[in-house]
Amino acid sequence: MKVLNFGSLNIDYVYDVEHFVKKGETISSTDLKIFSGGKGLNQSIAFSKAGADICHAGLIGTDGAFLETILKEAGVDIEYVTKVENVRTGNAIIQNDSQGDNCILLYGGANQMITKEFVDEVFKGFEAGDWLVIQNEINENPYIVECAYQRGMKVVLNPSPMNEKIFDINLSHVDCFILNEGEAKVLVGTGSEEESLEKRLRKKFPHAKVVLTLGEKGSVYVDEKETVYQSAYKVNAVDTTAAGDTFTGYFVSGRLQGMTVKESLDLAAKASAITVTRKGAAPSIPWMEEVLQFNFEEE
Q: Is 245 a catalytic residue?
A: yes
The three-point CA angle 257-259-249 to 5° equals: 60
Distance separating alpha carbons of residues 298 and 167, to the nearest angstrom = 37
| 41-64 b/e (C-beta count within 10 Å ≥ 16 → b) | bbbbbbbbbbbbebbbbbbbbeeb
Q: How many CB atoms lie within 10 A of CB 172?
A: 10
Identity of residue 44: S
CB-count exposure of residue 153 (10 Å: 0-12, 13-18, 19+): buried
Nearest Cα residue to 158 out of 249, 91, 35, 74: 249
E runs forming strands in 65-130: 77-83, 90-96, 102-107
Alpha helix (H) ranges present in 27-180? 39-49, 65-73, 116-123, 141-150
Cis omega before residue 286 (within 30°)? no
Distance separating alpha carbons of residues 71 and 110, to the nearest angstrom = 17
Q: Determine contact, residues 60/83, Cβ cutoff 8 Å.
A: yes
Distance separating alpha carbons of residues 28 and 54, to the nearest angstrom = 40
Active-site option among 77, 130, 245, 266: 245
H or E stretch covering 266: helix 261-275
Identity of residue 259: M
Q: Which residues are catalytic?
A: 245
